[in-house]
Chains A and B, each alone.
Chain A
Amino acid sequence: MTEASGITGAAIRGPSGRSPRSLLRSIEIDTRLLGMIGALAIIWIGFNIMSGGLFLTARNLWNLSVQSSSIAIMATGMVLVIVSRNIDLSVGSLLGFLGYTMAMVQAIWIPTALGLGFYQPYTWVVALLVGVLLGAALGGFQGFIVAYGGVPSFIVTLGGFLVWRGLIFQYAQGQTIAPMDSTYALLGGGPIGSLGDVGSWVVGALACAGIVYSVIGSRRRRQRYGFPVRPTWALVTVIVAGSAAVLGAVWIANNYFWPPALATQYALDHGITEPPGGLQIPVGIAYPVLLMIAVAIVMTIIATRRRFGRYAYAIGGNPEAAELGGINVRRTIMLTFALLGSLVAISAAIQTARLNGAVTNLGVQNELDVISAAVIGGTSFSGGIGTIPGAVLGAVVMQSLRSGMVLLRVDSPTQDIVVGIVLVTAVGLDTFVRRRATR
C-alpha cells in the first residue's frame, strides 16, 4: 500500500513532515488554486510595472472586479456543465436574448403594454424573476434535448447559439431598448450601484465571521468522529489569510472615491458644502461584485456539499458507474444546463443594467470568455475535474489580461492573440502537471 500513502497521508500523517509540500498539505489548501493566485499576482505586478503604476490602483482594481463579475457568474455554472462532460456554446446568445427580454419587461411590457407605468418599486424584481425563470427554462430545454434526446451538447447549444441570437431581432426589429428601471440599473454597479464604505466593512466583517464559522465547523465535525484534524497553526493561518484577503479587498474598494463631478452634484443635492479638496465619498464594493460573491458561495455549496454537485462530478468521472450507482444521470445533466441558464440571466441583468439598455450585440463572444475562464480555472474537458473558485479566478485572470493590455494601449486584435496564446499555454501547463502528478 506504499504507492497510495504518498498521496494519501494528508490527514493521516501527524505533524512530522516539514517539507513545503507537507506544510501546504496540513493547511489543506488546493495547490492548484494557490498556483493560480500566484500566476494572477505575477500578471498584476507585471502590468503594474509596465504601465508605470497604473494597474494596481484602487480605481483600476475596482473596475476589474466589476468587469469580471458577469463572466465569473456564468463561469461557475459552466464548470458543472463541463465537469459532467458537456459544453454550452449558447451562453452569449442566451445572455443577449434574456437581457433583451428583461429590458422589454421593464421598458415596454410593464409600463406600456400593461399600462402600469414606469419605475414601479416591483419592476426590477419582476424583470429579474422573468429573466431567471426563462433562463432556467431555456437552459433546461437545451439540457433536456442533450440528456433525454441524446443529441451531443455541442450541437444542441450550437443551435441555441444561432436561435437565441436570431430571436433578439423578433423583438422590435433589433432596436435598442432603453432606459432601464432606476432600481434595476443599480445592478450594473457604478458609484451609486455600490455599497459605500460602511456597508462594505459590514459585508467584510460578515465574510470573516463566515470563514471562522465554516473552518471551525468542519473541524468540529471531524473531531466528532475522531478523525485527525489539521494542526491549530494551520487553522489560524487559514483564518488569518482569508480574513486579511477579504478586509484588504474591502479596503481597496473603499479607497476608490466617487468621481469629482458626481461628488459635487451629490454635495449640491444634499446641501453639503464641499471641503477644499472636494468631497471624498468611498465607493465600496459594487453590487454586481456582491452578486458574484453570493453566486460563487452558493455554487460552491452546490458543487461540494449537495447531492446534485456530487453527482455531476461522479458523472464526469465515469458516466456508466454513476448510472450503475443509481444516479439519475439524465436529470442531473439537464439540471446543470438549467442552472447555467439561470446564472446567464443574472449576468444578463448586470450587463443590461451597466449599459442602461439592451442592444443586439449584447453578450456576443461571451461564451468564449466563459468557457476560457472555466478552463483556465482548472476545469477539464475530460470531465470530473473543476472548481468554482478556480473558475472565478479564471475570469479574473482573463479580465486582468484584457484590462492590463488596454492600459498598455495594446490594440484589440493583438489582445485576442495574447489571450488565445495564454489560454492554450495555461491548459497545456495544467495538463502537463496533472499527468505528472498521477504518475
Chain B
Amino acid sequence: MSSGEANMTTTELVPLVEMRDIRVAFGGVHAVDGCTVDLYRGEVVGLVGGNGAGKSTLMRALSGAHPPDSGEIRIDGQPVSITNPRDAKTLAIETIYQTLALADNVDAPSNVFLGREVTTRLGSLDDSAMESATRTVMGRLNPNFTAFKTQVKSLSGGQRQAVAIARAVYFNAKILIMDEPTAALGPAETAQVRALIRQLKSEGIGIFLVSHDIHDVFDLADRISVMYHGQIVGTVNKDEVTIDQVLGMIILGKRPEEVTQKELAKLHG
C-alpha cells in the first residue's frame, strides 16, 4: 500500500488541523485533559479509546458543539476560535454525530440543508431546489433512497445515517468528523460507508474517525490516536503496529514499549 508514502509527502506540509493541549472539564471531571492531535489533508486519523475516554468530547470541541476550556486549534496553520457549530461550519468542518443530530419531524432535504437553506430571491425556502440537490447527493450515497418527502423519524437506521452523511458531505467539507459512523448499520451499509470514506479521503478531505470498532479503524485509518482517561496515550502509524498493540494501549493506557510482559500476559489471560 502506498499510504505510507503519501504520508511522507503530506507531513512536510502544514497540518490541516492541529489541536494543541485541549482541555474540557465537566464540573470537576477532566473529560479531556491536555490532548494534542493533528490531521493532514487526505488523511484518516482514527480516534479510539474505551467508553468515557473523551473521544467524543475532544471532537465536540472541534465541531463547536462544546467549546474547549483551554487549548489552541489551528486550521491550515491559522489559530481559530470555534465557539459554536456555525463557526465550525464556516471553517468547512462538518460532523456526523453518533446521535446523527437529525430534526426528526422534517424531511430529508430539510435536514440536509438545516441551517443553510436554499432560498429564492425573496428569501422564501426553495424546497424544490433543496430536494433536487438532495436527490443528487443521495444518488451517490444510497441509490435506494426514495423517501424525500417523509419525516426522517420514519426512516430506517441506514437511511437516517445516509441523511446525516449527506448533510456533512454536501457542503464541500475540508475536515470531516465521523463519530461512530457505522454503529447503527448493517453489513452492506457499513461497506458503503467504508467505500465512501476512502473516496472522500482520495478527494483530499481530512477525516477524524471516532470508533469503538478497532477493525474499522485498522481498515480505514492512516494513523491512530489512542485516548485513555481524557489523555492521548499516543499516536501511531497504522502500518507500524498490530491490532493487539493498539488494544493494549486502549485497555492499559500505555504505549506498546511501556507495557511489561506481566501486563501483556494479563491482557491475554
Contact = CB atoms under 8 A, between A and B. Distances in A.
B128 A4 contact: no
Interface bracket on A: 35 or more
A310 B149 contact: no
Contacts, number: 120
A62 interface: no
B158 to A, nearest CB: 9
B102 A4 contact: no
B146 interface: yes
B124 A317 contact: no
Interface stretch (B43-51, B109-117, B196-204, B228-236): B109-117
Nearest to B164: A321
A413 B65 CA distance: 52
Interface in A312-329: 313-318, 320-328
Given A224-B128, A307-B117, A327-B115, A317 B104 contact: yes
A326 B94 CA distance: 11
B153 A305 contact: no
Interface in A228-254: none
A317 B154 contact: no
Given A8-B150, A313-B103, A317-B106, A221 B128 contact: yes
Interface in A30-73: none
B180 interface: no
B106 to A, nearest CB: 6
A4 B154 contact: yes
A1 B159 contact: yes
B95 interface: yes
Contact of A322 (B100, B103, B129, B149): B103
B156 interface: yes
A355 B95 CA distance: 57
A318 B103 contact: yes
Nearest to B133: A225
Nearest to B152: A317
Interface string A1-39: 101110110111000000000000000000000000000
Interface bracket on B: 35 or more
Contact of A310 (B95, B106, B154, B159): B106
A225 B128 contact: yes
Nearest to B124: A305
Contacts of B145: 1
A318 B104 contact: yes
Interface in A211-233: 221-222, 224-225, 227
A281 interface: no
B147 A310 contact: no
Given A307-B117, A322-B114, A8 B128 contact: no
B243 interface: no
Contact of B144 (A1, A3, A12): A1
A300 to B, nearest CB: 12
Closest 8 pairs (CB-CB, A-B): A317-B105, A326-B115, A384-B105, A325-B114, A314-B103, A317-B103, A321-B101, A325-B115
Interface of B: 63, 65, 84-86, 89, 95, 97, 99-106, 110-111, 114-117, 119, 123-126, 128-129, 131-132, 144-150, 153-156, 159, 167
13 contacts: A4-B159, A222-B128, A225-B131, A307-B119, A314-B110, A317-B106, A321-B102, A321-B103, A321-B114, A325-B114, A326-B114, A326-B115, A384-B104
Given A318-B102, A325-B114, 10 more contacts: A227-B132, A305-B124, A305-B125, A306-B124, A311-B115, A318-B105, A321-B102, A321-B114, A384-B105, A438-B154
